[in-house]
Amino acid sequence: MGNSEDLKIFLEDFVDFLNAQESSIVKMRLQLEKLVGAVAPAPKGSPKLPFDVSKINWQDRENEKGKFQCSEDYNSLDHKALLAFLNEHVPSKCVQSEGWFYWIYPSGSKIGRKLKK
């Protein structure tokens, strides 16, 4: 194995390590928000999201059901936090919050949202 191959393997392992660290940070952030939320719980049925969804890169879309937005902003901590939050709402993997309806696409990494009227 040459030096460039060793470097490639090291970099791939290092990126895996950083992704694991980032995932742990998102999970801990959600846990802390739950603890804070336990003091003053959000109204049932419309929880306040414990992160800023405006920081997520949303793309406008439209289909036969109307206008909506979706995000595949995998590098955003807020996208990852929302994805983890939605996954906690098993089996539906969707939630309404602050006038929006959020869901996870079957791919498991893409998020959609639609403004509720």
Q: What is the pLDDT of residues 27-75, one digit of tens each?
A: 777 777 777 765 444 444 556 777 788 889 999 999 888 899 999 988 8
Identify any residues that bridge with 97 across adjacent strands, giving them in sequence order: 100
Task: Tell me the domain boundaries of the chain.
Answer: 3-115
Q: What is the pLDDT of residues 69-91, one digit of tens each?
A: 999 988 888 888 888 888 887 67
H helix runs in 1-111, sequence order = 3-39, 77-87
Q: Tokens 């802390």 sit at which residue?
A: 32
pTM above 0.95, yes or no: no
| Phi, psi torsion values for 112, nearest 5 degrees | -120, 155
